[in-house]
Amino acid sequence: MYKPRVTDLAAGVRTGRSVATGRFGFSLLLLACLGLSACGGGSSSGQGNTPADDDGQGGDDRPLDDDVVDTPLESHTVSGNLTANDALQADTDVDDPTTPEVDNNTFATAQILPNPAIVKGFVTATPTNSASGRFADSTDTFDVFSISAFSSQSILLEIADFDPGASDNADLDIGLFSTDGELLEASINIGSAFEAIVVPSDGDYFLAVNAYSGGSNYTLSLATEFATSAFQSQISLGDIRLDRLAVAELPGNATNRAFVSNMQEGEQMLATLAQESKRIALTLDTAKALDSLAVQRKRSTDSGAERVSLTALHTGDSKSSKTAPEMDSLAMLDMIKAMNSEEGDDIFAALQYPSTHQSLGSDPVPDRFLQWNLGAIGWTEAVDRLESVTLSKRPILAVIDSGMVIDHPDLAGVIVDQRDFVPAVIDGDGFVADASDDVRVNDDPRSCHHFHGTHVSTTAVAPQNDAGITGVVPGIGLIAIKVGHNSGDNCGLFGDIANAILYAAGLPNDSGSVPAITADVINMSVGGPTQDPDISAAISRAVAQGVIVVASAGNDGAPVVSYPAADDGVIAVAATDTLDAAAPYSSFYPRVDIAAPGGDQSVDVNGDGLADGIAAGIAVASGSGFRSSWGLMQGTSMASPTVAAGMALMKGIEPDLTQSDIEAMLAAGQLTVDIGATGFDNATGFGLMSLPKMIESALQFSDGGAPDPAPVTIVTSSPGSLDFGSSLDSVTLDLVQSGGTTVSVSSITGSDSLTLQDGSVPIRFSGPDTANGFGEYSFVLDRGALESGALSGQIAFNLSDNSSHIVPVSAINQVAQGVASSAAVFFIIERMNDDGTFEALDEQFFSSDGVSGGAISSPAIEEGTYRLIYGTDTDNDFFICDQGELCGTFPFSNFGFNATFELDADISGADFLLEDVANLALTAFDGTEHPGMGARRISKPAVLD
């Protein structure tokens, strides 16, 4: 690589003026040559230092005046290769007509990107009208890219020309599609320079940039994390809920119009309305595959304020068209954008409603739509809290139900015991240790119970095993007890529930055996109109043993009591829907203690295309048998195991908790979030279950009459995870402990692809010099030892109390290269004047296939001190190095244009490095007519055919 001498600008020294400067200039040249080693040495510049006596008569025979006064400066060229970082890519169809056009407007012609990647592109929803621009008379609405991305990777779009003070900014959005073209996620901000998407899982995708309105350069980044939280999308398709768009109608506006109000940094905005609810019908562009979208307002009250939600309902007949649930959300936001445009202002509202719902985080990620029930109970917060909690025991939940699909993937590793309590007179085999669901009813391979027991059990305990769903408390122990049977044409619960309860509690029963590990909690998602004295008695005995008994409140949607829920000592559970309201079918009576998500499949409030039921494990007919699957159900059957799992977790934290302790906590509001009427109400009892509150209450429990519980050691680390991203090679981590006991670190082990092998590759660590192993650790990643791709695993700090503190680990190594993309790169030569200022030469040159790497050579340029600036002009505004464009300087300098080179000989092998203009600290060019840092006006050749 050519390395020019860097000239001190302050010295203002230059060489090689034009021959037109006359004798004076030549004198300067003489002096300069005396001072600089570059002079002479084979140069043909005619830098003679002695008078020429050509005729031998003495004197200086050199001609005077203009004929030959100054030695003409020679001209030289600068040549080299354009290079760019592997991650840097150029959009292959931009407004600059000199860039070779390669269509990337469809899935079929998607441009392949590497990972990580930074794409500099251009899209426009309207003709640009730019001089000779490629899209002067047409549009470039979409740029589509093909990517291989990894779970939790960040995709960020920056609208380059965005001006916060302007009202006519271009509006660009991004969408993530499956390889089948199904929209999976989108970021559809209004009034923001940024759009952001988090990749949901490892896989191949199409990523589309869409010009909603206007046109602009853009920078599209596929990275591992955002540089700042400010880049987080304000409206992401994954977050938007049609029921959570708050609207406020303008005072005095009597028409059926929805108007939106400002949202302040994610704070919930409560819109106060005066009008009654009314139906708003909108007709949208049929290109959106919707004939019409009826928006129904639903009003609810809360402490005097009114929250208004919108539920999109199909009213057209276009369901046969592609009407993915996301299209409803997009259509809704289209409506908002259209109204904003009409009003001439960028205002909107995205109300997170209800407030009890939480977005679901970390990998593996429960689907926030499919498993809305987890968000409703504060699942993510609970999971985070549990990372610093050491359980006293593994919670054990007994589910007395119709039977289970024992080998269901979402029951893997959780079944600790099983028993059949259907009497032999019915099923012929008595109380055997087999809770398998019946799969044959008159040669029908499907269970008449529709695998109810499997659904109930997996709702509670399904492990986080990347299969199916995630349970309320994943992985707790399950005692599967079957009391259902298909008896001829009859399908019913013919089992001995009373003995089943005794068995689960470890009490003597008619089976003659008890589980090796008895239950902390018993769940019964069953009910009947009459009280069974045997069952009541068994419940009393189990409760006396310290077992918590939970049962479904019933689905009569009326004040109809159900047993065993109404039995003494039983926690009766009502059901809620996606709006945290009592489900329409949920029975209500004074015995109801608590509520939990049970679903409402008559609606799809969260707009995911699925009825709002509870997703969990089932089985479906397959040939003569069945196969494990997952499905939706609704009912207090689903709510009950949700509460039961939470209470089992409480028992795992504090095994001495009793039914009366739980009831006291309920009455004190320590386990729930109050919903519905303030305080206790028959529909939801003391409120909606809160898993985080359950955890805290168990931790804080203090039984005055019983021995103090064993102190809990809390181990935490900062950070909570080791994320090396795509560039970090080392991360430090502080390991700390608190609590009543002291533990020490016995060992540190790794897992998955990031294994620790004797502390060496691919992660080395050095720990604190402390006796107990707590303190600061340094982890160093050897990327050379890693394969390409997204890598994840975990490091376990194994402690002396036989527990482990787990720290997730992730990293991304560069994966396959994208297809080389070309872009026209224009060069501007600037000569340094005597006073240190720079002046652009008229001569400019360009490469039509830069970026991908190409040889480039300047025209012959007279000797002198120069600098080169080069870049793309994707928006064809005749300025290179705009925001959103590629740019570079020669020589390379981290300080912008502070470097020059001496052109006193041909320069070859130069490295013309292209970079994201945002990385260059370019100072404004004096006299620039164009806003932006370092932008340079250029001239372009005629459009090439």
Partner 1 sequence: MTMKSPLHACFLLSALLAGGCSCLGSAGIENAVAADQQSVSASETTCRTYGFRNWALQRDEQTTTISVEASMPTPAWSIVLHELPGADEGTIKLVMETIPPTGMSNSVITWILAEKTLDTSAMSAPDITISCADEIVWSSQES
Q: Which of 681, 696, 882, 916 is the binder for partner 1 (CB under 8 A)?
A: 681
Give the HSE-up count for residue 11: Cα atoms under 13 Å, Cβ half-sphere: 10
Which is closer to partner 1, CB of 638 or CB of 653? 638
CB of 550 to partner 1, least distance (A): 12
CB of 490 to partner 1, least distance (A): 10
Q: Which of 325, 375, 635, 888 is the binder for partner 1 (CB under 8 A)?
A: 635
677 binds partner 1, rule: CB under 8 A: yes
Residue window 495-524: x/- pattern of binding to partner 1, with contact defined by CB under 8 A: --x---------------------------
Interatomic CA distance for residues 324 and 104, integer angstroms: 24
Decide if 721 contacts 765 (C-beta within 8 A): no
Which is closer to partner 1, CB of 635 or CB of 871? 635
Applying CB under 8 A, the span of 443-451, 712-720, 757-765, 771-779 interacting with partner 1 comes to 443-451
700 SS3 class? helix
DSSP summary character for residue 944: P
Q: Which helix (H) or strand (E) holds 399?
A: strand 396-401
Q: Which helix (H) or strand (E) holds 775?
A: strand 775-781
CB of 369 to partner 1, least distance (A): 20
Interatomic CA distance for residues 325 and 609, integer angstroms: 5
CB of 191 to partner 1, least distance (A): 38
CB of 590 to partner 1, least distance (A): 5
Which is closer to partner 1, CB of 200 or CB of 527? 527
Query: Which tokens sit at 216?
Result: 């602009």
Q: Which of 87, 411, 448, 722 is the binder for partner 1 (CB under 8 A)?
A: 448
Interatomic CA distance for residues 217 and 209, integer angstroms: 11
405 binds partner 1, rule: CB under 8 A: no
Supply φ then ψ for residue 755, to 5 degrees. -90, 145
Q: Scanning residues 560 to 619, which ones bind partner 1 (CB under 8 A)?
A: 560-562, 581-586, 588-590, 601-602
Q: Which of 371, 470, 486, 637 is the binder for partner 1 (CB under 8 A)?
A: 637
- Tokens 């991304």 -> residue: 812
Which is closer to partner 1, CB of 439 or CB of 653? 439
Which is closer to partner 1, CB of 626 or CB of 826? 626
Q: Which of 195, 401, 654, 862 is the binder for partner 1 (CB under 8 A)?
A: 401
CB of 300 to partner 1, least distance (A): 11
Interatomic CA distance for residues 781 and 770, integer angstroms: 23
Which is closer to partner 1, CB of 415 or CB of 526? 526
CB of 559 to partner 1, least distance (A): 5
β 907-916/485-487 pair status? unpaired
Decide if 527 contacts 565 (C-beta within 8 A): yes
Residue window 523-562: x/- pattern of binding to partner 1, with contact defined by CB under 8 A: --xxxxxx-x-------------------xxxxxxxxxxx
Which is closer to partner 1, CB of 488 or CB of 704? 488
Which is closer to partner 1, CB of 124 or CB of 684? 684
Q: Scanning residues 274 to 333, which ones bind partner 1 (CB under 8 A)?
A: none
- Within the chain, what is the greatest distance between any pair of CA atoms? 141
CB of 584 to partner 1, least distance (A): 4
Q: Which helix (H) or strand (E) holds 453?
A: helix 452-461
Interatomic CA distance for residues 532 and 535, integer angstroms: 5
Number of residues that bind partner 1 (CB under 8 A): 54
Ranges of beta strands (E only) in 642-782 are: 672-673, 688-689, 713-718, 722-725, 730-739, 745-750, 763-766, 775-781
Interatomic CA distance for residues 911 and 51, integer angstroms: 42
CB of 332 to partner 1, least distance (A): 24
640 binds partner 1, rule: CB under 8 A: yes
Burial profile 14-41: b = 16 or more Cβ within 10 angstroms, e = fewer: bbbbebeeeeebbebbeebbeeeebbee
Please count the other Cβ atoms lying within 10 Å of the Cβ belonging to residue 90: 27
Which is closer to partner 1, CB of 462 or CB of 526? 526
686 binds partner 1, rule: CB under 8 A: no
Interatomic CA distance for residues 317 and 289, integer angstroms: 10
Decide if 119 contacts 155 (C-beta within 8 A): no
Residue window 466-495: x/- pattern of binding to partner 1, with contact defined by CB under 8 A: ------------------x------xxx--
Decide if 843 contacts 817 (C-beta within 8 A): no
Residues 6 or more apart whose Cβ sits within 8 Å of residue 763: 750, 754, 755, 756, 779, 780, 781, 782, 795, 809
Applying CB under 8 A, the span of 51-59, 636-644, 793-801, 818-826 interacting with partner 1 comes to 636-644
Q: Which value, to the nearest 10 degrees, does the dihedral of the CA atoms of residues 37, 40, 44, 47 take?
A: 100
The amino acid at residue 883 is Q
Applying CB under 8 A, the span of 119-127, 259-267, 635-643, 773-781 interacting with partner 1 comes to 635-643
Q: Which of 190, 638, 825, 917 is the binder for partner 1 (CB under 8 A)?
A: 638
621 binds partner 1, rule: CB under 8 A: no
421 binds partner 1, rule: CB under 8 A: no
Applying CB under 8 A, the span of 97-105, 172-180, 677-685, 900-908 interacting with partner 1 comes to 677-685
402 binds partner 1, rule: CB under 8 A: yes
28 SS3 class? helix
Beta bridge pairs of residue 866: 831, 901
- Which residues of the chain form contacts with partner 1 (CB under 8 A)? 401-402, 448-450, 452, 455, 484, 491-493, 497, 525-530, 532, 552-562, 581-586, 588-590, 601-602, 633-638, 640, 676-677, 681-684
